Amino acid sequence: MPSDDRREAVQGATIVTIIMAFVFLALRMISRIFITRRTSWDDYLMVIAWLIAFGGALTVLLSVEKGFGLMDVILDPKSIPSLKKFGYAYSILYVRISLRIMARRSGSAGQ
């Protein structure tokens, strides 16, 4: 019978993903700064995107402490409001910011 506790898997996947993203970003920035000696706006946008992703990963890790990764039947009802707050913060970090960037970019494409 599989375990009802997926918190360690969520933590592990989140930490590995954000570390791998940082390594690839660092390698890109090193190559752009020291090898080509040219950076552009998309390099800085990638740094901003990683910072936003780090914030999202942090909200996931904090929500694991409150019970994210547990089955609903064994979740403490007192932790549900905290999980909803973390979910809201996560949605702000990803969905709303990315939609605003996309809308701004598509609005300036015709100019």
Considering the entire predicted model, what is its pTM?
A: 0.74
Query: CA-to-CA distance for 101 and 49, rounded, in angstroms?
Result: 11
Report the alpha-carbon angle 63-13-53, nearest 5.
65
pLDDT of residue 109: 53
Confidence of residue 1 (pLDDT cuts 50, 70, 90): very low
pLDDT of residue 108: 62
Quick: pLDDT tens for 14-70.
999 999 999 999 999 999 999 999 998 888 988 988 998 898 899 899 989 888 888
Q: Is the pLDDT of residue 96 over 80?
A: no
* Cβ neighbour number for residue 40 with a 10 Å cutoff: 8
CB 79 within 8 A of CB 29: no
Phi first, then psi: give them for residue 5, nearest 5 degrees: -110, 110
